[in-house]
Chains A and B, each alone.
Chain A
Amino acid sequence: MLEIRDLHATVADKPILKGLNLTVNPGEVHAIMGPNGSGKSTLANVLAGRDNYAITGGEALFEGKSLAKQEPEERAQAGLFLAFQYPVEIPGVSNMEFLKAALESVRGAQGKEEWDSVTLLRQARAACKQVNLDASFLKRGVNEGFSGGEKKRNEIMQMLLMEPKLALLDETDSGLDIDALQTVAKGVNSLRSPERGIVLVTHYQRLLDYIVPDFVHVLSNGQIIKSGGKELAHELEEKGYGWLTGEEESA
């Protein structure tokens, strides 16, 4: 489903990814770990198509098609979803209006049945409930005045509604207390299915206690330097990243 071969990418012309290889098949959950500045978030943003994040070499194929030439909305319509590390506040645009536009576009592109406003509202309320977000958040501006935890739960709520083929979660665990972390993990786990791929980008092993990955990769200096099973995450937790990168990690 996701095929990344020798990917090189720059952020505002600075090389960050330097020959990254990764394959994600349907049904798999991958965790990408690594020290700060290793390129984890860059990978997530490059795949989603953020401005100034440019692919300069190699390729990233999603469902057999190169992502490089696709607009962010085309990637989303094809079934890619990025849960942001820092969800953006958009005052004046209500969450509900936003969801309506997003779902109309994505469901339409995927040939799924259109939801009328009653169905949409019912589905949105159910998704809110699943992540412990009060339904009143649907009427508020997108992420406007939400706490850090509410923003992250709002991301998962959107993900539940959009039913992506491939979900990229960029440091979704950062800034969450243990209750919120469990809520978010429950939401993500409910999306695990044989048709869906999930990529978790995280600095800490903590999230992986709740969302158990099939594969763990360590990213350092723009490349994956080690891959393994879930036990690799525990090893990292004990030994730190310096064990693999050969550098002292600052706390």
Chain B
Amino acid sequence: MSLSASALAQELKSQALTNANNSGSKGDALAALEAASFPERKTERWKYTSLQALADGHLNAIADGEISQPLPALSEHVVTINNGQLVSHNLPDGVSLSHDGPAINGLQTPFAFYNSAVASQPVVLTVAANTRIEQPIHVQLQSASDTPAHCSPRLVVVLNQGAEAAVIEHYHAEGQTLSNAVTALVTADNAQLTHYRLQGEQASSLHIGTLIIDQQGISKVDSYQLMTGNRLRRNDVRALVNKSGAELNMKGIFVVRDNSHVDNQLCVEHAVPNCESDQNFKGLAGESGKAVFNGRIHIHPGASGTNAELSNKNLLLNPGAEINTKPELEIYNDDVKCAHGTTVGQLDAMQQFYLQSRGIPAAEAKRMLSLGFVNELLMTLPHEKVAEWATPWLEAELAHTTPAGESAA
């Protein structure tokens, strides 16, 4: 089925509302969805991402397939959520799981509102005050469906005062599922959170997700976001740096090959004085892959003494690949430090020649240089188990050979 963008937007809204009503949604969540407009071609924030894939009818069915290749456990502490439903959990002392959590602040997209309307049993992990959790908590969010279908996983992680933990938010999808996900990380005073977002779903699947980082206290959050492209991947990441002295670091890697797609929309909201944020993302695009990166820093009038940085460096491996990157600074305050830089380049011909002159074949040289480009970030991953999983995963994505007939240059 092919629809015009505006007809599709209306169709998606009607599907979403039908599902919300059927699931008994009411109150604010339903009201927000009712008021929302789904993106059309002219919607600025969606201008590089077409929703045409959703014309296949993903919102008309709920994913309920068996996961044939479940994720390996990267920790003793695993929470498994299949097709949006909690399946099992094994948590350490000091971490509790419930289905009641605080309302999530800062949601903006119609897809996030839809998630709010239908996700009746969010998984809420709460780390007790002044507790240090040694091992990371591995949250596996898996889905499978042979035919177009969707799920709406919703994860909330709350670190109470003085808590320290690491959470791995790890997606896996098989077949034709759409994960319409919402995750919120909420930190109180003196909390320290290490967060991983690993997105390596099958190329045929879709992911539209919102991540909210809500630093309600003087806290430190380090977030590592690694992703490969798929049929449609859209990440809206919004950080609310809301208490003076809070510190946020986000690092990420995205790799798009073949016809895959990634659209990252990041926004860091500095609403109060004297906070620090750093965004450092690297992107790689090959074949007809398409990546979008929009990094917004919004410094509100009262947020003096803010120190915010943004860097997005990208590598194009083929002439057919596309990367659209844009830093977006909105600063309503003179007393701030704000640095940004975005670049799109190609593999360095001299580096390539140097490797080849030592007998390394052109394709292997390219792979080594591509991996070298993102390696700097991979090497900073603080948890060995995650690095051990992520490195070969990205290596495999980069080992991808160039189809015959395309220039090796």
The interface of chain A, by Cβ under 8 A from chain B, is 48-51, 71-73, 75-77, 81-82, 84, 87-88, 90-93, 97-98, 101-102, 105-106, 109, 141-142, 158, 162
CB contacts (< 8 Å) of A81 on chain B: these are: 357
One digit per residue, 1 when the CB lies within 8 angstroms of any chain A CB and 0 when it does not, for chain B 343-364 equals 0000011110111111111101
A93 touches B368 (CB 8 A): yes
- Sample 22 A-B pairs with CB under 8 A, ordered by A number: A49-B356, A51-B349, A71-B361, A71-B362, A72-B357, A73-B356, A73-B359, A76-B357, A81-B357, A82-B357, A91-B376, A92-B373, A93-B369, A93-B375, A97-B368, A98-B368, A101-B364, A102-B355, A102-B358, A102-B360, A106-B359, A109-B359
A92 touches B371 (CB 8 A): yes
CB contacts (< 8 Å) of B369 on chain A: these are: 90, 93
A91 touches B358 (CB 8 A): no
CB contacts (< 8 Å) of B382 on chain A: these are: none
Minimum Cβ distance to chain B for residue A1 (Å): 18
A98 touches B355 (CB 8 A): yes
State which residues 351-397 of B face A: CB under 8 Å. 351, 353-362, 364-365, 368-369, 371-376
CB contacts (< 8 Å) of B350 on chain A: these are: 88
Q: Is the interface of B mostly helix, strand, loop or mixed?
A: helix
Task: Give CA–CA (A102, B361) in the complex, Å.
Answer: 9
Q: A76-B357, A92-B371 are in contact. List 16 more A-B contacts (CB 8 A).
A: A49-B356, A49-B357, A50-B353, A73-B362, A75-B357, A82-B357, A88-B351, A88-B353, A92-B372, A92-B375, A93-B371, A93-B375, A98-B360, A98-B368, A102-B359, A162-B358
Task: Give CA–CA (A73, B408) in the complex, Å.
Answer: 13
Task: Give CA–CA (A125, B161) in the complex, Å.
Answer: 50
CB contacts (< 8 Å) of B374 on chain A: these are: 92
B353 touches A51 (CB 8 A): yes
- Which one of A49, A84, A105 has the highest number of Cβ atoms from chain B below 10 Å of its Cβ? A105
B375 touches A158 (CB 8 A): no
B359 touches A77 (CB 8 A): yes
B360 touches A90 (CB 8 A): no
Query: Which residue of chain A has the shortest Cβ distance to B354 in the bound complex?
Result: A88
Contacting residue for A76 out of B348, B359, B364, B372, CB 8 A? B359
A106 touches B376 (CB 8 A): no
The tally of residues in B whose CB lies under 8 Å from a CB in A reads 25
CB contacts (< 8 Å) of B409 on chain A: these are: 51
CB contacts (< 8 Å) of B371 on chain A: these are: 92-93
Task: Give CA–CA (A88, B358) in the complex, Å.
Answer: 12
Minimum Cβ distance to chain A for residue B358 (Å): 4
- Which one of B354, B371, B376 has the highest number of Cβ atoms from chain A below 10 Å of its Cβ? B354
Task: Give CA–CA (A76, B356) in the complex, Å.
Answer: 8
Task: Give CA–CA (A4, B374) in the complex, Å.
Answer: 42
Query: Which residue of chain B has the shortest Cβ distance to A101 in the bound complex?
Result: B360
CB contacts (< 8 Å) of B357 on chain A: these are: 48-50, 72-73, 75-76, 81-82, 84
One digit per residue, 1 when the CB lies within 8 angstroms of any chain A CB and 0 when it does not, for chain B 392-409 equals 000000000000000001
Closest 3 CB pairs of A and B: A92-B372, A76-B359, A102-B358
A92 touches B364 (CB 8 A): no
CB contacts (< 8 Å) of A142 on chain B: these are: 354
CB contacts (< 8 Å) of A162 on chain B: these are: 358-359
Task: Give CA–CA (A92, B394) in the complex, Å.
Answer: 14
CB contacts (< 8 Å) of A158 on chain B: these are: 358
CB contacts (< 8 Å) of B348 on chain A: these are: 88
- Which one of B356, B359, B364, B409 has the highest number of Cβ atoms from chain A below 10 Å of its Cβ? B359
